Structure formats: structure tokens, C-alpha cells
Amino acid sequence: MSAEKTPAQLGYRMPAEWEPHAATWLSWPRREGISFPDSFDKVLPALREMVGALTESEAVCINVVNGAHEAEARSALDSLPRQECITYYEIPTNEPWCRDHGPIFLTRAAKAGLAIVDWDYNAWGNKYPPFDLDEVVPTRIADLLKVPVFYPKMILEGGSIEVNGAGTLMTSESCLLNRNRNPNLSRDEIEQRLRDFLGVTEILWLGDGIEGDDTDGHIDDLARFVAETKVVTVVEENRDDANFKPLQENLGRLREMKIGPAKRDKLDIVTLPMPRRIVREELRLPASYANFYIANKLVLVPTFADPADNLALSVLEKCFPSRRIVGIDCRELIWGLGTFHCLTQQQPISYITDDNSLHR
């Protein structure tokens, strides 16, 4: 760690996902990639529907490898309306999971402007090499946007953290404390880096993730902030399901947690159902309604042609009364072991002036 000031010392913080966006970033999948084996064409309808919905809400920035890759993406998307909202950037990636390899954006009130945190990246514990292109994406985007970039020298994926924008961060022990990420860092050292580089003061720890989650338990499949003191968390009602016990334990932890300056505020907890078990080629897939993405005007929610779909959508409608809830069938997309939150990364507006005009 250098003696230079940390983002927190400079007044930066990571905004909550529901705060205003300038854009949503995506990394277009590669046909030869490993994320959608033998099913690349089958995921295109969900990707097209996702981008089409996002352009109703905000600008969409899409990373592509080269001109040929851009042409392939355009062949899937050029029939959509609002093409002026889509911009392609030649920023090569290995895989499409922009939440995990993309930049974590910071803002600050005292001085206008964005900054980016470039965490180290090792494809979820060196599970899926190569990841050399993914690893440098945040700095490539920082160069493009001409914003400062900070290097915590710690491995972290964006899907492993969840913030309320007011100083509290939620994560899971099974992921962030896994020895395949930062074996030389203690829990206290990891917490300090989160505070220093994301501008948070409180760290809330859940336990284990859901079955089939190859990320070792990302928080965005488990529990999400929907307001400063309000959390939605998934629960499994079937006692015979492998997810029943870990999700009940996480629910118990959330019920005991208190946040705020004096740690007096209990969390307002809303439960989301889990879809039925989805198995493909003898592999359980990590289907979760918690993997939704909050855009400016809408919330993208994965659905699975499941009896619980409508209940999940109804729960989220109550959490986001000012946003349209958009459910999109993700039965093919989940074969890549992730859905909308895993694919997206929000770029917040840089600041709001006294007259409430938005500046990028």
C-alpha cells in the first residue's frame, strides 16, 4: 500500500445502484468463449431483450473485442429501437461478466467527477483462464473516460459486494474470505481495503452462497439493498433443498444486524422466493431472483418459467414503486451461471448541481 491518499480520504464513495446512472456497461459475449457452451445463439434473445429495455432508461456502453465482434453484436441488436443510446467500445474481454471484471465507479460531492477502482481479478479463484483481457478492463475504461483510477492490490469481483450508498457494505464470508482470492490478507485487512477504496464504514457479513454458484457465494445471488436500511434476501422453503440451511442462516444474520452511525437501526428485511431447482447436464444452476439490476427507470429481473416468478416480480414491484419491473426469461442465460446483475455495471452520474441538472 502506498502513502498516497485513499479514495475515502479524498471524499469518494461507491453510490448505491439506485442512484442516477449516466450509463450501463456491458461486455458482449464471444462465440468462442466458455460462458455459453454450445448455446451462444440461444442466449441472444435474452441479451437483446435486456439491451432493448436498458435503452428505455439510459445509455448502454458495450465492450467488444474488435470490428468483427462489434458486427456480430450489431447483428443481434441493430433491429432494436433507440440505437442512439448504444455505443460500442473496442475494449477486449475474455467473458461477458462485466459486473465482476468491470470498473467500480466512485463519486464525490466536494469536487465534481468520477473515479474508478481497479481491483485485481483472477476469474473467481483461477477457475476459468485465460482472464488477461478481463483483468485490465477497469483501467481501459478509466483511460477512455479520462478519470482517475485507484489500485487496491486486492482481488475482488463486483458481484461480491453490495452497498447502500450511505456507508454500509454487505458481502459474504464464503467468497471474500476464500483462500483462492487473497490468501495473504486477513479479514481485518480486507475490511480496511473496502473502507479505504469504496468509502464505506460498516461491513455486514453473510455466510455461504447458493448451490451451483461457481463464484463461491456472490452476494448478488443472496441479498440486495433496495434502500438505505432495506434489504431483500432469498429464502428456500423446501427443507430438503441444499439451499434451505445456508439461506436460513443468512436470514438469521440479517435479522440480528444493526446499521447506522450508532448501530441502532435494524434492517427492514423483505424475503424473495427461490425458483425451483434447475439442473442441466447434471449441474445445478445458480438461478436466483436476487440477481436483478436496478436501472434509472426500470428493474431487470431474471425469470425462469417458474411458479415463483410472479411472486418475485410482485415483491420487487413493492420495493421499487417508481420503476417498471421487467421480467425476462433467463432459462438459457443461466447456463452461463449468471444473469442480469452479473452482466451489467452501472456508471453513476458524476455529480448533481444546485439546480439538480445532471452532469456526466
**pLDDT tens by residue, 55-67:** 999 999 999 999 9
Q: Which long-range contacts (CB under 8 A, 24 or more apart) does 252-256 make?
A: 253/205, 253/206, 253/207, 254/204, 254/206, 254/223
Question: Rounded to two decimals, what is the model's pTM?
Answer: 0.95
- pLDDT, residue 353, reads 42
Q: What is the predicted pLDDT for the residue at 352?
A: 46
Quote the CA–CA distance of 340 and 327 in Å, as a whole number.
10
**Which residue in 302, 348, 300 sits closest to 329, CA to CA?**
302
The secondary element (H helix, E strand) that includes residue 192 is helix 187-198
Rounded CA-CA distance 236/158 in Å is 25
Estimate the share of the chain in helix, then strand, then coil, as percent rounded to the nearest 5. Answer: 30, 25, 45
Q: What is the pLDDT of residues 76-113, one digit of tens each?
A: 999 999 999 999 999 999 999 999 999 999 999 867 68
| Strand 298-303, strand 168-172: pairing | unpaired
pLDDT at 197 over 70: yes
Is 116 within 8 Å of 148 (Cβ atoms)? yes
Q: Catalytic: 342?
A: yes
Task: For residue 128, count CB atoms less than 10 angstroms from its CB and return exposed for 0-12, middle for 13-18, buried for 19 or more.
Answer: middle
All 3 cell numbers of residue 96? Answer: 461477458
Pairing of strands 293-294, 283-284: unpaired
The reply to whether omega before 130 is within 30° of 0 (cis) is: yes
Q: Tell me the residue length of the chain.
A: 360
Nearest to 290 by CA among 128, 170, 135: 170
The share of the chain scoring above pLDDT 90, in percent, equals 92
- In contact, 266 and 228? CB cutoff 8 Å: no
CB-CB contact of 74 with 43 (8 Å): no
* Inter-residue contact 64 to 90 (CB < 8 Å): yes
Cell of 52: 432493448
**pLDDT at residue 268 tops 70:** yes
Give the pLDDT of residue 360: 41
pLDDT at 109: 84
pLDDT for the residue numbered 67:
98
Q: Where are the domains of the chain?
A: 21-359
* 22 phi/psi in degrees, rounded to 5: -85, -30
Q: Which amino acid is at 233?
A: T
pLDDT at 186 over 70: yes
| pLDDT at residue 263 in the model | 79
Question: Chain-wide mean pLDDT for the chain?
Answer: 95
pLDDT at 37 (0 to 100): 86
Cell 454500509: give the residue: 168
H/E segment holding residue 353: none
Residue 289's CB is within 10 A of a number of other CB atoms, namely 28
Element at 33 (helix H, strand E): none
Work out the pLDDT band at 264, boundaries 50, 70, 90: confident
Distance CA 130, CA 192 (A): 29
Inform me whether the pLDDT recorded for 216 exceeds 90: yes
Distance (Å, rounded) from C-alpha 76 to C-alpha 42? 12
pLDDT (tens digit, 9 = 90+) per residue, 291-336?
A: 999 999 999 999 999 999 999 999 999 999 999 999 999 999 999 9
pLDDT tens-digit readout, 106-159: 999 867 689 999 999 999 999 999 999 999 999 999 999 999 999 999 999 999
Give mean pLDDT, residues 8-21. 97
CATH number listed for the domain at residues 21-359:
3.75.10.10
Dig out the grid coordinates for 286 from the structure.
445458480
- The single-letter code of the amino acid at 293 is Y
Look at residue 357 and tell me whether its pLDDT is greater than 50: no
Of 61, 85, 319, 342, the active-site residue reads: 342
Paired residues of 89 in beta bridges: 63
User: What's residue 351's pLDDT?
Assistant: 56
Sort strands 258-259 and 265-266 into parallel, antiparallel or unpaired.
antiparallel
Cell numbers 447506522 correspond to what residue?
A: 260
Band (pLDDT 50/70/90 cuts) for residue 359 is: very low
Q: Cα–Cα distance between 335 and 202 in angstroms, integer? A: 34
Distances (CA, A) of 112 to 27, 108, 262, 360: 27, 7, 30, 10
Mean pLDDT, range 184-202, rounded to an integer: 98
